[in-house]
Structure 1
Amino acid sequence: MTQNEVSMGSKVNEWLTGWKSNLFVRLFLFFLLILLFYFSLSTKLVPKTYDIEPNTYSEKTILATKQIENVLATKEAKLEAAQKVQPIYQIISFKSEQLIDILFDKLLQNNASADTVLNFEEKVSLYNRVIPETMLDYVDAFVAGLEKNPQYSTQLVQEIKLKLLDQQYKIPAETYYKLPRLSESELNNMEPIVKSIVSKLMSDPIIEVQGTRNKVTEQVNSSDLSTSVLREVAQDLVRFSLTANKYLDEQGTAEARDKAQELTKTIFINKNDAIINKDQLITNEIYEQLKSMNLLTDKASYLPRLGLLLLSSLLVLVLYLFIRQSKLSIRENNSQLLMLVIIYIVNIAVMHIVELGVNLDFPYIGFITPVALGTVLIMILLEAPLAWVSTLIFAITASIIFNNESAQLFDFRYGFVAVVVGYASVFSLNQTSQRISILRAGIINSAFSVLSVVILLLLDNHYTIKETTFALSFAATGGVLTAVLVIGILPFFEAVFGILSPLKLIELSHPNLPLLRKLLTETPGTYHHSIMVGNLSEAAADSIGADGLLCRVGSYYHDIGKTRRPSYFIENQSNMENPHDSIEPSLSKSIIMAHTREGVEMLKEHKIPKAIRDIAEQHHGTTLLKYFHHKALQKLGDSGSQLAISEEEYRYPGPKAQSKEAAIVGIADCVEAAVRSMRSPTMEQIDTMVEKIIKQRLEDGQFNECDLTLKELTTISKALREALLGIFHSRIEYPSDLKE
């Protein structure tokens, strides 16, 4: 292998071991979150486009992405409503009786008094001119009166005038030759008959007067007029006096139809309704609708994509800034960030799986979504503050993913329920010690989900029994489903990421587990020592904000290697000789040091998580076995040899503590053994011993590879002294006891 290959291999190994704190890996994971939000929400916020042309047949059914007006259907509905409006007519009496009076007055005047002035031909000519003019003058006067009446529109008045002139009866020429020959008595007899017939015929609505004029002959023939001449003249005068009295009000009709169109409700194409079905002809109207919804490939707008990208970036930015400003361990740990990304993927994937059933005939099926799944996993596997901000992000995504009925971008109902159940889960899981706690949290989740749904239904005030039943049932099921999924998924994260959740730690601390039972039965002294170390280390860890539960459980297993040769460890040597008295110091050293390596091997065999194995391997660090080193030096001196024995030969192989928890367990282990070896320790002795041990380890460089600070070491020292005083208080010699 060349030098370049070796160099490259070392760089790869360095990168693989340092990826948990690598900046580029961190940025990539945040970018992955942006992609997750973008693609998971794109189906709801970015319309799918189609490459189609008008006057062709659609190859697939295209659904509306939002609620829009169905222009074609609305237009047809308005036209239909307008067509149902009947034409509006106005009944306006022409007052033909007055016209008859004027005509007969002229006839009487000219026939009676003009005999000496006008001859016969002149009278015929006079009537031929005067009678039509009389009608025109009467029509003008009648129309002028209508124009002064605000009830009638100008258009209607003009229509009446045109119709009166249009339907005016033209008296035959022979009738004008008959009129001059009528006597005064004949005219007086004829006038009431003409009035009566006109009044009778005009009593009915008349649109087209010609039909009414056809009835005149019958009416006149049944009158009292005796001669045919009188009847013929009467018929023409009646026809001349008859007019239409029912007129179409075109303006009023148009206004009524316009109002009917205005009152016609707009027809909408709702979200997820079919705009066009498969194999349906794409008309120009349908094409325009697709165009208006940006569903055409060549007309698609990129603004929704830009908006979604900004929204996705904003959500991730909120998460990034929160993590950056916090003091959470995820701030520097890419392994935890990767786990957070996977939790987000799982939670959003579950939302989409449930969303597939939204189109089924089950109202509010979205409430069955275990939307708090991600919150609960983050609460258990990571830290509570991260669960708070993630709940808000999950609520926003839920309000988008389940937005199928609203015309808005977000359906606040699902977001509201997600916030309520998320925060309820955070509160209910504040202290999680058993897996049954998750089920209890699921029940609490269901209760608050039902409560939030009840609030929404009461505020809406438009719900049916069916909708209420489904909504409450789904809400109650969602909480239980959350608990079931968390219990099922949790082991995956614990195994893949080596996560020691509080639940897993509690399980590992059960005394009936094989290793702990072996420790208790075969090395009772070591077991008791481990329990004491657990109490001390937990108190010390809690005092500086480290993982106290991990310290306790790690202490239970830290000396498991002593079960291989229990009699070689002093805490197990009751009523027996110390075997180290009869063997070489070098062999004693090997036996004592082997317990860390052998303990790690035993823990690996029983698949105990790495964090506990690390504590077992690192709790002694590279400390010196002073007793056996001194014994070896003394023996060497007694033999008169001038050879020196290096301290390195009698130091533990390490490694030094890599975490606060491993360092704390190592301190507690040494302190407990030292104090236990003291006979009737006093308060001053305990204080001195604790400070001495911590100082020696600090000077020996045992804390160089973990991030314990001097301030934290001071806090740990104080916590250990308080815990030891509580344990050994009955043995402390007070002044009165010393005097005795």
Structure 2
Amino acid sequence: MSLLPYQGLKHFFSNRVVSRIILLLLAAVLSYAALIFPLALRPSYLPITVGNVAPQDIQAPSSLTYISEIQTEAARKDAERSIAPIYLPADPAIARQKMDDLRKTMGYITSIRMDQYATREQKSADLQALKNVKFEANETSSILDLSDERWDSIQQEALRVLEEVMRTTIRTDQIYEARQSVPSRISLAFSPASNTIISRLVEPHIEANSQFSEDRTRASVEQARNAVQPVSRSLLSGEIIVRRGQIVTPLIFETLEKFDLVKPKSGYTNYLAPAALIAIIAAFIVFYFIRRPISPINNWQGLLLVAGLFIIFLVLARFIVPNRTVFPYLFPMAAFGLTISCLFNFEVGLILSLALSIVASFGLSSTFDITLYYALTSIIGILILGKGMRISNFLYAAAGIGMTGCAIIIAYRLSPGSLDLIGLATLLGSAFINGLASASLALLFQYFFSQLLGTTTALQLLDLSRPDHPVMQFMLRNAPGSYQHSLQVANLAEQAAEAIGADVLLTRVGALYHDIGKAANPQFFIENQVTGKSNPHDDLTPEVSSATIIRHVSDGIQIARKNHLPPRIIDFIKEHHGTLLTRYQYARAIQESAGQIEQVNIEQFRYPGPRPCSRETALLMLADGCEARARAELPRSEVELRSLVKKVFDYLQQEGQLDQTSLTLRDLNVASDSFVSTLRNSYHPRIIYPEIKPPSSPTEPIIFLTPQEKFDLDNKSK
């Protein structure tokens, strides 16, 4: 019961309609903020900023008294600087610890001195190897030459001096002074050499025993800051706030802000007009997706990426484009649409590009032609790019964007009587640079963001589908039978994906890689075994045999990750058996248990899953089952083929393996017909060619023998 609210909330946020609403709200709010806030690199007015020179004398238009945050903060800073750092009282535990450390050090030195089996050189080396106390060579000799009574007195004096020093308060910045005071604290009864030894022993053990209290210091600082009363500032009407040529300080700027003299006052129209535009664009997107409910953006990562890219391009456009002549035609707005088209589909790229073009050019001096420039270049580029399956597609898209931009520039900038050839040539060149920049950015973005989202692009899939890919070559060399099986499954799944409108290229590539784990142990899979040789499974128990077969899934995942295959391809490896059983081994286990099924642990024969979570991986599971069964049963007619495919489909549905996919009954019927058609063409009967018996003499005719006649003739001759 406690999980029901969570599951309901999870289902709510996983709903595609809700996801689009959230995307719309995020984009609408942030787009509105980008339109109402002054972001332009070159604004239409000249604001006064801190550090600039005032262009003229500015007087107070009226008398005003206000709380100055600048002066109040300055007073608080002064109060903060007046607080000295606060240290805690001396901690006796630190002194005791250091006394114990010194005793251990001197005890170790004593053990070296008493070692009867070590030479003098070894003892000296051991003394010099001490980590916390450093002795010179002559000092180690002096220690070794000391009598036991003298060494005992040095130890007692070292402990006394350390205790005396550590009784005082020592802060971090006082450690050096405390160590320097050690020689003056040693009794005069000791010789200079003994003084040096005592200092060597004591000084490293002197540490700070009074720690800085950050909490108390911060509390005192806050108390001092809070004790400062707000500072008010008064100005009379006509009083000079800043003179011409004077540097604008933060205090002056604050005063100008209080009088609303820094920038013009904003009226309600400055907020209403952008709100109306954003509402229109939002309504357009809502109505569009109501009529076109299918969208590939069905997860939070994709939604956030689209919203983020939309806002980034919008903010950059509002920052760079306003009040400039050439930059509007250089800004690569089409890169947004091309990127969305590559990552998701061209339809979403078209709609969002149109919305971005309208919003980004809102309020500019040449709004209409800039809007057309951005919208048409993006649309033409997306239509030319398509799925972006070749690098050449990006080059063609760049050329299309450039030529479309040139046409728009000529249409709106070529006016008779005031022809500026240099300016026109500059804008035309900018259009082609725009196209090249947009295509280049899209190529870069689609690779980077596909890695971030765990999705695949057409370029990646085409590269993976090449037979010379290292993983494909590894599988071809180690498991040629599995490689051929994967090709057959890929053909089946690809045709079915095209028939039901799934991702054809993704389905094919996923099918090619779904069994790469078999290449790790190819001899355990029937398609890689040589006829006539013993089956290694015959020597294994059903449980071990099943585990070996199931392991090809985990082996495939390991190989895929080692070779940096996309997560979407790894899904095909994980899901192509779902949570099915290795039925042959399970049946063997039941048979060996004399039919006592309760003695067999069924979970030892079950694949780890998960079940297929997409239409593409579900098609792979169906195709894998149909191909394997067709290869085993060799159906002779279309009726047998249809029966075979139906059995596979019914079994997987009964096992619940298709429950987490969006396959409909219509999709399953269409996929079934596609499988039958493809299998029929793959397993059609072949012509048996007759053997030719050469004549024994020139006059004897050539005899054509059937295979059975040739077999009988060979046996007769034997």
TM-score, normalised relative to structure 2: 0.62
Q: Deviations over 1:66-94 (max 9, x none)?
A: xxxxxxxxxxxxxxxxxxxxxxxxxxxxx
Q: Deviations over 1:454-505 (max 9, x none)?
A: 2223457633111111111101111011111112222221111112122221
2:296 aligned with 1:334, yes or no?
no
2:496 paired residue number? 540
User: In the alignment, which of 331, 345, 361 is matched to residue 399 of structure 1?
Assistant: 361
Letter of the aligned partner of 2:562 in structure 1? Answer: E
C-alpha separation in 1, matches of 2:243 and 2:447? 47
CA drift of 1:317 comes to: 3.0
C-alpha separation in 2, matches of 1:278 and 1:523? 86
User: In the alignment, which of 568, 581, 584 is matched to residue 624 of structure 1?
Assistant: 581
Q: What pairs up with 1:215-294 in 2 under 5 angstroms?
A: 279=244
C-alpha separation in 2, matches of 1:420 and 1:624? 55
CA pair 48-468 structure 1, distance change in 2 beyond 3 A? closer
1:683 paired residue number? 638
User: In the alignment, which of 332, 335, 340 is matched to residue 378 of structure 1?
Assistant: 340
Letter of the aligned partner of 2:345 in structure 1? Answer: E
C-alpha separation in 2, matches of 1:611 and 1:19? 22
C-alpha separation in 2, matches of 1:319 and 1:60? 47
1:418 paired residue number? 374
Give structure 2 stretches of 5+ with no counterpart.
58-241, 247-255, 689-705, 710-718
Q: What pairs up with 1:25-40 in 2 under 5 angstroms?
A: 27-40=21-34
2:475 aligned with 1:513, yes or no?
no
Q: For the Cα contact (< 8 Å) 1:681–1:731, is it kept in 2?
A: no
C-alpha separation in 2, matches of 1:732 and 1:671? 25
User: In the alignment, which of 288, 291, 303 is matched to residue 322 of structure 1?
Assistant: 288
Identity, % of aligned positions:
27
C-alpha separation in 2, matches of 1:22 and 1:685? 41
Letter of the aligned partner of 1:456 in structure 2? Answer: Y
2:614 paired residue number? 659
Note the aligned Cα RMSD (angstroms).
Answer: 3.7
Q: Deviations over 1:664-694 (max 9, x none)?
A: 1011111111112234632222111111110
Letter of the aligned partner of 1:351 in structure 2? Answer: A
Q: Deviations over 1:376-434 (max 9, x none)?
A: 11111112221222232122134337x2xx3xxx5211111222211211221224312
Letter of the aligned partner of 1:319 in structure 2? Answer: I
CA drift of 1:452 comes to: 2.2
1:696 paired residue number? 651
Letter of the aligned partner of 2:314 in structure 1? Answer: I
Give structure 1 stretches of 5+ with no counterpart.
1-6, 63-276, 282-289
Letter of the aligned partner of 1:612 in structure 2? Answer: I
Q: Deviations over 1:312-344 (max 9, x none)?
A: 233233223323432223464333222211221
CA drift of 1:569 comes to: 0.4
Letter of the aligned partner of 1:279 in structure 2? Answer: R
Q: For the Cα contact (< 8 Å) 1:671–1:690, is it kept in 2?
A: yes
User: In the alignment, which of 310, 313, 322 is matched to residue 279 of structure 2?
Assistant: 313
User: In the alignment, which of 549, 563, 577 is matched to residue 534 of structure 2?
Assistant: 577
Q: For the Cα contact (< 8 Å) 2:297–2:344, is it kept in 1?
A: no
2:691 paired residue number? none
2:346 aligned with 1:365, yes or no?
no
2:445 aligned with 1:445, yes or no?
no
1:203 paired residue number? none
1:560 paired residue number? 516
Secondary structure of 1:400's partner?
A: coil
CA pair 581-516 structure 1, distance change in 2 beyond 3 A? same
CA drift of 1:566 comes to: 0.6
Letter of the aligned partner of 2:244 in structure 1? Answer: D
User: In the alignment, which of 563, 573, 589 is matched to residue 546 of structure 2?
Assistant: 589
Q: For the Cα contact (< 8 Å) 1:45–1:308, is it kept in 2?
A: no
C-alpha separation in 2, matches of 1:385 and 1:340? 14
C-alpha separation in 2, matches of 1:460 and 1:682? 76
2:228 paired residue number? none
C-alpha separation in 2, matches of 1:621 and 1:436? 39
Q: For the Cα contact (< 8 Å) 2:278–2:359, is it kept in 1?
A: no
C-alpha separation in 1, matches of 2:427 and 2:436? 15
2:565 paired residue number? 608
CA drift of 1:615 comes to: 1.3
Q: Rg bigger for which structure?
A: 1
CA drift of 1:553 comes to: 0.8
Secondary structure of 1:422's partner?
A: helix
Aligned residues: 488
User: In the alignment, which of 505, 510, 516 is matched to residue 549 of structure 1?
Assistant: 505
Letter of the aligned partner of 1:376 in structure 2? Answer: L
Q: What pairs up with 1:6-25 in 2 under 5 angstroms?
A: 20-21=14-15
2:419 paired residue number? 463
Q: For the Cα contact (< 8 Å) 2:39–2:319, is it kept in 1?
A: no
User: In the alignment, which of 347, 351, 355 is matched to residue 389 of structure 1?
Assistant: 351
Q: For the Cα contact (< 8 Å) 1:445–1:479, is it kept in 2?
A: yes
CA pair 295-388 structure 1, distance change in 2 beyond 3 A? farther
C-alpha separation in 2, matches of 1:682 and 1:278? 100
Letter of the aligned partner of 1:704 in structure 2? Answer: D
